[in-house]
Amino acid sequence: MTTRWAYLGPAGTFTEEALDALLAGERDGGGRDGSQPDRLSQTSVDAALGAVRRGDADVAVVPIENSVEGGVSATLDALATGDRLVITAEVLVPVRFVLASRPGTTLADVAVVGSHPHAIAQCRGWLAQHLPAVTTVVTLSTAAAATALASSGANHDPAHDAALCSRGAAEAAGLVVLGDDVADRAGAVTRFVAVRRPGDLPPPSGADRTTVVAYQREDVAGSLLALLEQFAARGVNLSRIDSRPLGTALGQYCFSIDCDGHVADPRVGEALTGLRRVTADLRFVGSYPRADGLAPTTPPGTSDGDFVAASDWLADQRRGSTG
Amino acid sequence: MTTRWAYLGPAGTFTEEALDALLAGERDGGGRDGSQPDRLSQTSVDAALGAVRRGDADVAVVPIENSVEGGVSATLDALATGDRLVITAEVLVPVRFVLASRPGTTLADVAVVGSHPHAIAQCRGWLAQHLPAVTTVVTLSTAAAATALASSGANHDPAHDAALCSRGAAEAAGLVVLGDDVADRAGAVTRFVAVRRPGDLPPPSGADRTTVVAYQREDVAGSLLALLEQFAARGVNLSRIDSRPLGTALGQYCFSIDCDGHVADPRVGEALTGLRRVTADLRFVGSYPRADGLAPTTPPGTSDGDFVAASDWLADQRRGSTG
Amino acid sequence: MTTRWAYLGPAGTFTEEALDALLAGERDGGGRDGSQPDRLSQTSVDAALGAVRRGDADVAVVPIENSVEGGVSATLDALATGDRLVITAEVLVPVRFVLASRPGTTLADVAVVGSHPHAIAQCRGWLAQHLPAVTTVVTLSTAAAATALASSGANHDPAHDAALCSRGAAEAAGLVVLGDDVADRAGAVTRFVAVRRPGDLPPPSGADRTTVVAYQREDVAGSLLALLEQFAARGVNLSRIDSRPLGTALGQYCFSIDCDGHVADPRVGEALTGLRRVTADLRFVGSYPRADGLAPTTPPGTSDGDFVAASDWLADQRRGSTG
Amino acid sequence: MTTRWAYLGPAGTFTEEALDALLAGERDGGGRDGSQPDRLSQTSVDAALGAVRRGDADVAVVPIENSVEGGVSATLDALATGDRLVITAEVLVPVRFVLASRPGTTLADVAVVGSHPHAIAQCRGWLAQHLPAVTTVVTLSTAAAATALASSGANHDPAHDAALCSRGAAEAAGLVVLGDDVADRAGAVTRFVAVRRPGDLPPPSGADRTTVVAYQREDVAGSLLALLEQFAARGVNLSRIDSRPLGTALGQYCFSIDCDGHVADPRVGEALTGLRRVTADLRFVGSYPRADGLAPTTPPGTSDGDFVAASDWLADQRRGSTG
């Protein structure tokens, strides 16, 4: 049966690049009958995850973390609330921007640049240097900034005359590139995840990541310290932690966390049970292979072998071992 | 001399409400000669802080934390890098949204709603219930969504036919209110801060907040744990902690932190020196009175009196006290 | 079959009182055939534990902790090394001393007082007040000080002319009491334990104590901190901790520890596996009912029910629960 | 003026060796007029410290820690209570035992061995191997076991016919050595300290030790953890920690602690003020040069330079530095 993939469209976004990369790596990327997966373009992260929750899609591809902008709030919040979903895969997409416009436009002609706010933020220095008098307008996605230029003359004339977008989006919209690789920091990368309804977990690969959302029981400092100590006591490293407001009052937060390892690993399992005990609530959002294939390094006494040995020792003592 | 205040405009934004509240509370709100302060409308947080850094403004008013959306990334990042600035005051502004449109438009006519992404996020439920078929477009600010409707017919026809904005902005633009208090959560509030170039600190008020940015020395987990332990060891509570990417690679973060108390307090001072020692870098972003006037509660052994008594005891021992 | 009990004799010591109390409480105090248990008097803690290790006795009764003198080093060291033994029961014995001498001796006649060093230490104030010119000599036990006076004239004339001992020992030796309840602190108590070869554990009673010996991996401070954090992370309280030298060099220690709860309790079990992982070696020395019947109090999130619930939750997640 | 040194006598004890070593190292070992120091032999640790407290002696030399037996309880307790005294110097004395007897006695003749309990404990293996049928009796000191043999025939005939003592004590008493270096562990060492009334502290030497007694505020586990965290937060290592009962009830303890560094060091000073705040009481028992001359190693961020730099930084921020 054909797998239906929801993603933040339109065609040409970085999310679609992530979708392509995930399809290339997934066994179910193409159906066994050779059928192509369905690609369902969505207008927002909420819409993509909502499609999976309602059963209109099997998988959603959404950005979760960017090396320049940090955790993607819309994704973190949508995963932290509503029906539980789980991450089953991740992929890293290099983020390179071009400045593109309609054929015939030159750099000197550009008075207004449109793009997604994250893109504008990442190219701020380049714009200040090459277009000091430019103003910017925000669009729903980087690709939308490009397609608005392509379709101009139609419904609404866009407020901008050049777009910050991917090269693919520029080409798809028939635009010309006025500036290549215009992001202020080279090497920016966004991590995208594939999200499904709960079910079978990907098996441990030896280099996994686990995502959870921890709801604090009391104040920020004490709660966060107790939470981190649960990881530290088992030698489990964190690769990302984002505080997200509960929406009830200033200072009320939950924590979205990525840690190294798989929920099936003894060390991760014990850390999560500890976390479960000291938090008001804990939501498991999946264990999945890391895109970079980095296996966790463990401090002395916290390897999975150490956990198994300690567990065996305890069973012996409880049985009244005479050794 | 007239004080120049930079803020995220245009007129009618919540930032302008914050500015009004700050001016009402500040002694230098009006010059001694009766002159009015200069109000310098800016197009972005970066622009407002840049004006202060360059000396074109004396103070910038920017949002730092919202009870629904969390820490404001643009502000946190702009305070964490560039020439150091310090926060000297804060104010809380209730966030109430109306849905407004041109006279003659009814709710049934609304097909596209425009606003700042934060506002759209906070009113999502109301829109789904009252305008299930509506689409949304993003604008630079909530007030910009309103003014675009007022000025329509001019330069660009706006892509939306109703705006989510404050009542003040709707009225200033000559719009009519189609829905009042349309945010999904009542009681949402945004905290705004007044930011200046470093100089004299506001004196301790007994109910202060201190903001710092800590740059981690090593990995996330160990670094964050060591950092929190420095606060915990002195009984200093945190009211906000946001991880912000350094922009260099995934997993490289600094932490923007608000803690209770004033840098002049012994307990806060010792916590910050501890933090300074265990971090790669620590940036002090100001101590200022809390808008809610809540004095910190301290665990046993961590009152300022306890710190002073312990310090006196140490001095006695070092002198070779015979007691 | 008759149970053979080794204890620190001779008759009249506080250890024999402990033996009596344990026999009264033990189901195997008297054999099923009505036979009396064998009472094997020993000259030292080492001798009593050695008798159990060799199989010459079934149980040894030894002191482990005194409210005035602290942990009993001889017992702690003998349990920490050699073939492993386990504690199966404990009893508290009030420690009251009398000053006793041969009939005809008055307080004014006493020039030299003999007793065990612990007894001398606990009566120092009384002696200074009532016998300011007295000198003291040490004996192997408090009862030995009494019996030496009874048997004097025989083999060796004792070096002392009055004994600090229990009333029972004084009476058994035919001595008269010159001073009653002469300890400086009222209410002193010694905790004695019954020690056996490893085998079936006493079942959890709801108010148990567990004894372990932890061998540090590195330096004192780091090792001890890591060890305590393992208990704290599971809300397990400690009632005694004694550092004991490894004998190899100054600063090389192991830690003898009593904690609340039974090894079969989930919370204690997880703490011990954590301890096992972070120590160079961990020796389990038994779980047994507390003599005072005090059930442990647990911080939020660390009750046995919390541990079971967290464990069930983890199993659900690992199975790919759809909840 | 002649300095009066109290020590645990008689001549020939290891304490007297410690006294000789301290006199060789002290500037005031001999008076400026060439006079010899007074050597005041005492019968117990309490007597030696009492002489200093009363002003009958200027310094007391007492054992504080043994590599085989651990902390010396009598010394720890006497320093923890009563008028405060401070340690001003330490010295390490190798502990080597001989088995000695009267001329004419052979090893085969020895039925009873006398010595201090610590010595008997340290030679247990040798005795079991060479004198399997021997019994032991305890004496007040190792030297006392030797002198009792020398003076036998007089007042009291000793209960033993061979002594475990130092070679010096054996020779002084005119005994012959039946076995040399009979301790089970080679390399045993005892640390002795010079104790004075409070006054000028020895200046920091770069390789110092500090001794304190901390009285817990609550239960053992929480109190000890809080205490250790104060040291750990400043990177101060501990070289010894002994729990000592308060004498009030089982489970009520204070902690006698040696840490690396001098109270004048910023890192030690801050750790002690922290300790002072979290404990019910803290007694400072001196800072003095380590006998082994080992300078402390400090984790990153905890050198004295780091503390000074952090303190300077704090002062800058409090002044409103514009940097």
- Distance between CA atoms of A92 and B56, rounded to whole angstroms? 42
Closest CA to A159 of B158, B145, B152, B150: B158
**CB of A137 closer than 8 Å to CB of A163:** no
Above 50 in pLDDT, residue B87?
yes
Give the residue on C whose Cα is nearest the Cα of D160.
C156
Q: Residue C33: which pLDDT band, with cuts at 50, 70 and 90?
A: low
Chains A and B touch (3+ CB pairs under 8 A): yes
D239–C220 C-beta distance less than 8 A: yes
As a whole number, the mean pLDDT across chain A is: 87
C313–A276 C-beta distance less than 8 A: yes
- Distance between CA atoms of A72 and A61, rounded to whole angstroms? 13
- Determine which of C44, C142, C157, C250 to mutate to test the interface with D (most D C-beta atoms within 10 Å): C250
pLDDT of residue D284: 97
The tokens describing D17, both together, are: 């060796």
B322 vs B172 pLDDT, higher one: B172
A233–C306 C-beta distance less than 8 A: no
Instruction: Give one DSSP letter per residue of C51-120, joined into a string.
Output: HHHHTS-SEEEEEEEETTTEE-HHHHHHHHSSS--EEEEEEEEE---EEEE-TT--GGG--EEEE-HHHH
- Determine which of C95, C136, C228, C257 to mutate to test the interface with D (most D C-beta atoms within 10 Å): C228
Q: Residue C29: which pLDDT band, with cuts at 50, 70 and 90?
A: very low
pLDDT of residue D125: 85
A277–C310 C-beta distance less than 8 A: yes
Tell me the one-letter amino acid at C300.
P
B101 vs A122 pLDDT, higher one: B101
Encode pLDDT of D113-170 as tens digits.
998 877 888 898 899 889 988 888 777 678 888 988 986 544 456 778 999 998 988 9
Facing residue for C241 by CB, picked from D220, D231, D259? D220
Encode pLDDT of C312-323 as tens digits.
999 999 998 876
Q: Is the dihedral of CA B209, B212, B218, B221 positive or negative?
A: positive
pLDDT of residue C249: 76
Instruction: Give one DSSP letter per residue of C190-224, joined into a string.
Output: EEEEEEE-S-SPPPP-SSEEEEEEEE-SS-HHHHH
The tokens describing D163, both together, are: 């002594």
Chains C and B touch (3+ CB pairs under 8 A): no
**CB of C42 closer than 8 Å to CB of C8:** yes
Q: Residue A154: which pLDDT band, with cuts at 50, 70 and 90?
A: very low
Above 60 in pLDDT, residue B323?
yes
Mean pLDDT of C6-21: 86
B302–D277 C-beta distance less than 8 A: yes
Determine which of A123-127, A191-195, C85-89 has the lowest per-residue pLDDT on average.
Answer: A123-127
Residue A231, number of CB atoms within 10 A of its CB? 25
Residue B47, CB-side half-sphere exposure with 13 Å CA sphere: 12
Element (H, E) at A18: helix A14-25
Above 90 in pLDDT, residue A36?
no
Above 80 in pLDDT, residue C271?
yes
Q: Residue B21: which pLDDT band, with cuts at 50, 70 and 90?
A: very high
Facing residue for A251 by CB, picked from B117, B239, B252? B239
Percent of chain C predicted with pLDDT > 90: 51
B263 vs B278 pLDDT, higher one: B263
pLDDT of residue D35: 66
Above 70 in pLDDT, residue B271?
yes
Mean pLDDT of A243-272: 89
Above 70 in pLDDT, residue B33?
no
Encode pLDDT of A204-225 as tens digits.
999 999 999 999 877 655 678 8
Q: Is the dihedral of CA B276, B279, B283, B289 positive or negative?
A: negative
Facing residue for A200 by CB, picked from C200, C233, C320? C320
pLDDT of residue A75: 92
As a whole number, the mean pLDDT across chain D is: 87
Percent of chain B predicted with pLDDT > 70: 92
pLDDT of residue A31: 47
Residue D122, CB-side half-sphere exposure with 13 Å CA sphere: 32
Q: How far is D241 from chain C (nearest CA, A)?
A: 7
- Distance between CA atoms of B169 and B175, rounded to whole angstroms? 9
- Determine which of A42, A220, A297 to mutate to test the interface with B (most B C-beta atoms within 10 Å): A220
Query: How many A/C residue pairs have CB atoms within 8 Å?
Result: 91
B201–D300 C-beta distance less than 8 A: no
Is the peptide bond preceding residue C198 cis, with omega within 30 degrees of 0? no
Q: Residue A281: which pLDDT band, with cuts at 50, 70 and 90?
A: very high
The tokens describing B293, both together, are: 């006037």
Mean pLDDT of D206-220: 87
Encode pLDDT of D177-189 as tens digits.
999 999 988 888 9
Encode pLDDT of D59-91 as tens digits.
999 999 988 778 888 899 999 989 999 999 999
pLDDT of residue C198: 95
Kindly calculate the radius of gyration of chain C based on its CA atoms and give it in whole angstroms: 23
Residue identified by tokens 């939750």 is C313
As a whole number, the mean pLDDT across chain B is: 87
Determine which of A52-66, C144-158, D6-20 has the lowest per-residue pLDDT on average.
Answer: C144-158
Above 50 in pLDDT, residue A141?
yes
Mean pLDDT of A141-159: 73
Determine which of A151-160, A301-310, A313-322 has the lowest per-residue pLDDT on average.
Answer: A151-160
Chains that touch D (3 or more CB pairs under 8 A): B, C
Above 50 in pLDDT, residue A88?
yes
Element (H, E) at D246: none
Residue C129, number of CB atoms within 10 A of its CB? 10
Above 80 in pLDDT, residue B154?
no
ipTM over 0.90: no
pLDDT of residue C9: 75
pLDDT of residue A257: 95
Facing residue for A320 by CB, picked from C201, C309, C310? C201
Percent of chain B predicted with pLDDT > 90: 51
CA D111 to the chain's CA centroid: 33
Residues of C in contact with A84 (CB under 8 A): 323
Above 90 in pLDDT, residue B320?
no
- Distance between CA atoms of D270 and D307, rounded to whole angstroms? 9
Helices (H), B55-177: 73-80, 117-122, 124-130, 142-150, 167-172
A180 vs C143 pLDDT, higher one: A180
Give the residue on D whose Cα is nearest the Cα of B273.
D310
CA A208 to the chain's CA centroid: 15
Q: Is the dihedral of CA C216, C219, C224, C227 positive or negative?
A: negative
Which of B117-121, B124-128, C61-65, C292-296 has the highest average model confidence (pLDDT)?
Answer: C61-65
pLDDT of residue C31: 47
- Distance between CA atoms of D258 and D238, rounded to whole angstroms? 6
Residue D53, number of CB atoms within 10 A of its CB? 17
Residues of B in contact with A185 (CB under 8 A): 247-248
Above 80 in pLDDT, residue D215?
yes
Mean pLDDT of B18-35: 70
pLDDT of residue A268: 95
